[in-house]
Each structure stands twice: as structure tokens, then as C-alpha cells.
Amino acid sequence: CNGLRFMADVIIIQVLVGIFLYINGLMIFTFFMKEAFRTDTRYILFAHMLFVDSSVMVATNLAVLFMHYAVVIPFEACIVLNLIMIWLEFCTPLTLVAMCLERYVAVCKPLRHAAISTPRIRVVGLLLIWGLGCVPALVILLSCAALVSVKQLTVRVLCSLNALIVIEWQRYLQIAVFKFYFLLMSMVIAFTYVKVAAAARSASGEDSKSSAKGTRTVALHAIQLLLCLIQLLTPWLEMAVLQISVVIYAKIRIVNFVVFMIAPRCLSPLIYGLRDQNFFQALKHFAIFGLNKKIQPGASRLVSCKRNIPL
């Protein structure tokens, strides 16, 4: 029974991952097929998040399969896999922060929105996301490099973040870095939400509707960010459980993977794929292989509707 339940859990996870990657792939395809989306900062950040989410999903799913099938890999490969996962996992909440800041400028400072929508600013913003995202990974890499010998790199291990902890102070250092990011990003999200909500209350007419929609978007981003940040802290819970029971650890990792890895990333299609009418019309067009020709103009009108920027 345990074996059948184990196989059922693995199959369910792979089905969920497959559906997630298909939807993300379709959205990325939709983004590249429309020039109006490729030149809009909001959609560029959205497509970037889709790419990061898909990459981290593949890497994390691989690590989960390794753990459940007790696959041992060289320690150096384990370091690389963990560094990639941590780097990508931090890029997702950082992208959410950038999207909230973009909404803040669009709603609260609309006259300055064009200034942050230039190709140069976009490139700088994306580089900043990847640069800040690599800091936690570098902390882990440098701490391992200082403590692990060359001979240990060839040892085969059951890969997890816990495998990289050689001395207890590494754990405290990583937790400190993670908490710092958690606090900083939470403060930015809270700031943007308060400002956008205040703008929604003070606006009138169509501006009020747009601002209120922007407020809901930031609120959804905040929920998504909270789940992502909790997911960054789950390895420490998993480490503690691993010391008690491998079986319980495997079950908790499955739950964490579904609740804190897949669930928050499913909010992206909800926020942009369904709530944004321009993107939804284009997405529906490509989802049915372009059979519905009537929906194409909806997405093309995006170029002439820049004034309705807030979601």
C-alpha cells in the first residue's frame, strides 16, 4: 500500500508539473507572438517571471524525484543544483517586487511611467533582479568553498540543502540572509499596496476603477509573494524533520512542493492570463491554434490603450 501511495503521489506531482509547464509555455509563446506585449514593461516582467517559474519548477521537481527515489549524486553536482534552485527561487519574489513597483508608478505617478518603460531601464531592472537573486546562492557557495575539501566534492550524497551544511553557523548565516530578503521585500510590497490603495480611494470615475483594479493586483502579488517567501523557509523545516524520519521528510517535501512551489506560481495565470482581457484574448486565440479570428483585434488594441495601464 505504501508503495502504491508513493507512486500515486509521484504521478500526481508530475501531472501538476506538466500542466503548469504547458500553461506557462503557452503564455510565453503568446507573449512573443504579440509586439504590443514585447514592448510593455508590465508584460515583459510577467514573461520573465514565467520563465523563472518554469525553470525553478524543473530544477526543484528534479531534486524532489532524486530524493524520493534515493538517487545519490556527486557532492559538487548537489552544490550546483542547490545553487540554481536558490538563485531562481529568489528571482521569483524579486520579480514580483518589481511588478508591484511598476504598478505603483503606473497608478500613483502615471506621468513618470513612460520614463521607466525604456529598453535601457528594463535591462537594468532585469539585471538587478538576477544580481540580487544570486547573493543568497553566493553566500552558500562561499561558505561551502571555505569548509569543503576537494576530496569531499567527489563523494556521492542524497542531495538536499541540508547536505551543504557542514558547520552549524552556515545554517544561521543562510537563515539570516533569507530573513533579510523576506523583510525587505515584504516592506516594499506593503509600501506599494498602501500607496496604490490610497490612490484608489482618492480617484474618481474611470481612474477610480483602474486604481481599484491596480490595488487588487498588488494584493494578489502580495499573497503570491508571501507563499514564495514561505517556500524559501521550508528547507529549514525539512532539515529538522529529516533528522527524525526520512519517510515523514519525503511526505512533507511533497506537501511543501505542491502548496508553496506550485500553488503560488499558479496565481500568475490568474492575475494576467485571465484578469487581463488583452492578454486573455491573445492567449485564447493561440490556445485554439488561431481558429477564432475575431479575438485578434482585442489584443492589438493594447498599443492604443496605454492609458489604461493598471490591471
**Pairing label, strands 156-158, 72-74:** antiparallel
Which residue did the predictor score with more confidence, 87 or 269? 87
C-alpha cell at 138: 553566493
**Sorting pLDDT into bands at 50, 70 and 90, what band is 207?**
low
Percent of the chain predicted with pLDDT > 90: 8
Reduce the DSSP state of residue 96 to 3 states and report it: helix
Measured distance CA(275)–CA(34) in Å, rounded: 18
Q: Which domains are seen in the chain, by residue range?
A: 30-264 (1.20.1070.10)
The pTM (predicted TM-score) of the whole model is 0.81
Percent of the chain predicted with pLDDT > 70: 84
What is the tens place of the pLDDT at every residue in 143-164? Answer: 887 787 777 777 888 887 777 8
Q: What is the pLDDT of residue 165?
A: 79
What is the tens place of the pLDDT at every residue in 209-247? Answer: 666 676 777 777 777 777 777 776 777 777 777 777 777
Q: What is the pLDDT of residue 211?
A: 62
**Sorting pLDDT into bands at 50, 70 and 90, what band is 306?**
very low
Q: What is the pLDDT of residue 133?
A: 92
Q: What is the pLDDT of residue 124?
A: 93
**What are 157's strand-pairing partners?**
73
Reduce the DSSP state of residue 84 to 3 states and report it: helix
Buried b (16+ CB within 10 A) or exposed e, 193-215: bebbbebbeebeeebeebbbbbb
Q: What is the pLDDT of residue 210?
A: 63
Angle at 63 between CA 166 and CA 89, to 5 degrees: 80
Would you list the DSSP string of 171-202?
HHHHHHHHHHHHHHHHHHHHHHHHHHHHHHHH
Could you tell me how far CA 73 lies from the centroid of its own chain? Answer: 27
Is the pLDDT reported for residue 34 higher than 50? yes
**What are 74's strand-pairing partners?**
156
What is the tens place of the pLDDT at every residue in 108-134? Answer: 888 888 887 888 999 999 999 999 999
